[in-house]
A and B are shown apart, each in its own frame.
Chain A
Amino acid sequence: MFFSLDLLFEAVLFGLLLGGFYAAVSLGLSVSFGLLDIPHVAHPALLILGAYATYMLAGTGIDPILCGLLLTPVFFVLGVVLYRFYYETFEKRGSDAGVRGLAFFFGLAFIIEVGLIIAFGADQRGVEAPYIGSSYELGDYRIPYRMLAAFGVAILVTIALSTYFSKTFTGRAIKAVGQDEGALRLMGANPVRIKQLAFGIATAVNALAGAVLIVIGPVEPSMDRLYIGRTFCVVVLAGLGSMSGTLVAGLILGIAESVVMMMLGASWAPAVSFGLLLVVLGLRPQGLFGR
């Protein structure tokens, strides 16, 4: 095995940037699953959907990250409709949301994935932008601009969400709704509307995260399977519903994956997130910053 301090430093640096990206793609799940306790296994599929929507819109020549931003209202509405549907069919009836809710989202993920295969084919799609393909030279190290862009977006979204959740009334209500619906109702807020809003926000973040995903590299419809591991690993490691925790957990996963890739090769990378997920679930299910 080839090993040097220099390489390790490079792997950690790359891992940090990759970690910011993992945090960005997990933030939506941190809201929908972490705060609202919805078994949202279709989150990675919606992320890929966001990437493909960006791909379509970027065809007109608009910058991909701007496309992601432009798509957020569309995804917000999609999220609101999806939650409304989930509420009417499962939460309202209280009909064994355990098995059937999971089956619903799992089925939905498959429908999105196969729908994308039928619409776009199974091969990879990518976008073009001035910052894709070039790198910033820092001494001996080369930092790709696309990684910096992803990292920047991740930081901005994390700051925006955590400010929203701690400073505004509706933001605090979203944090409260997962803990005690009854108390929230006494405060004069309608829990269903709050959850609907939160799920809308979680889905809207996916549009932006999907744009970042396609900026980082080309996407293909079946990629959502890998991101089940990465997003759930980050959210569980963070502790459910903690936004700043999500950023830290993303960085940990990014560094872990990058170091393993350097030491063992790229073919072991997918096992890192799933392995870390199992370890966290087994040893510390409440995560690092758990409530």
Chain B
Amino acid sequence: MNPFKFWIPACLLTLLLVLLAYSGINEYLFFAGFVVLQGIVLASAWNILGGYAGYVNFGVPAFVATGAYSALVVFKALGAPLLVQILAGALFAGLLGLGVGLLSLRLRGIFFSIATVAVIFILETVVLNWRFVGGATGLQLTKPEPSFGFESYTRMLFAVMALMSLVAVAISRYLQYSHIGQGLRALRDSEEAAECSGVPTLRLKVIACTISGALLGAGGAPMPMYLSFIEPASSFNLSYAISALAMPIIGGIGHWAGPVIGGLLLGSLQQYVTVTISSELNVLVVGVLLVLFVVIAPDGILGWIKSWKRSSK
């Protein structure tokens, strides 16, 4: 494969973002940019299961919160550094993904989706009743000193999230072109036909769900440090679910670039609306855009580009 098509531009772009974090630009840019980059991570992760395999995971908040609370636990119990926190978040959310993936053995379509909603509320109830992580009131945290010569912790988190987006997009792109992606697409179109043609459907679904879950958890792991605070209501907020669903659909589901395009557009728009108008309207914008795209442009922006290319030939 030609490295100029993906790897070189992607790595340069990430390097640029990391270098930007060392510059003297206003801190707020990194505070907002972190959320946009996190959106790309979550949307790419969602797309692996939802876009490639057609299993709609509404349980994104459960995975994000598992990542965040795993990070909190290793930080509080062992004083672990950020990298270990992220790895712990990925590990536990990956295990949750493994469990949810096994659910797909019996559940399809809306039944699977509703089961993932159930996972959110069950985990939230457990966390609400768990004293060590602060229960319903949550915990206040103090950010440690930034390392690697960053001026502030927020700048470091921004750089880390930039690297994580590179990793998430690279994994989702690799999966799309590998035999796993082919198998997932086959089972999305017809699970029976795929099974009959020798596609190991259950194994592929479990692999996709585990990887997707681990990436969602990794994306959520820096949250306690980012906010210096953690509590169940915002960690398990369903708006993670609607964003992670809307971004790939707006960009175009089933292709690795869809969540990137949708994440950049929707994420920036959300930040803009939150700052200029209100945070309620920010969720409304996501809902309205999601419904509009699903109805008017079911294949998203990538679908537009494709039909435009076809007609110009």
Contacts and interface: CB of A to CB of B under 8 A. Distances in A.
Contact of B58 (A104, A106, A281): A106
B134 interface: no
Contacts of B241: 106
A129 interface: no
Contacts of B287: 107-108, 110-111, 114
A41 interface: yes
Interface string A174-210: 0000000000000000000000000000000000000
A99 interface: yes
A59 interface: no
B43 to A, nearest CB: 13
B309 to A, nearest CB: 21
Contacts of A28: none
Contacts of A271: 121-122, 125-126
B110 A102 contact: yes
Contacts of B242: 106-107, 110
Given A107-B287, A110-B286, A102 B117 contact: no
B284 A41 contact: no
A104 B295 contact: yes
Interface string B93-117: 0000000000100110111011101
Nearest to A95: B298
Interface stretch (A72-80, A250-258, A272-280): A272-280
Chain B: interface size category: 35 or more
B117 A267 contact: no
Nearest to B115: A281
A103 B107 contact: no
A229 interface: yes
B286 A106 contact: no
Contact of B125 (A39, A118, A228, A270): A270
Given A102-B56, A277-B115, A270 B121 contact: yes
B283 interface: yes
Most buried by A among B50, B118, B129, B286: B118
Contacts of A41: 58, 110, 113-114
Given A89-B294, A99-B54, A277-B114, 5 more contacts: A33-B110, A98-B56, A98-B109, A99-B249, A111-B287
| A-B complex: 5 closest residue pairs judged by Cβ atoms | A110-B287, A271-B125, A107-B290, A274-B118, A107-B291
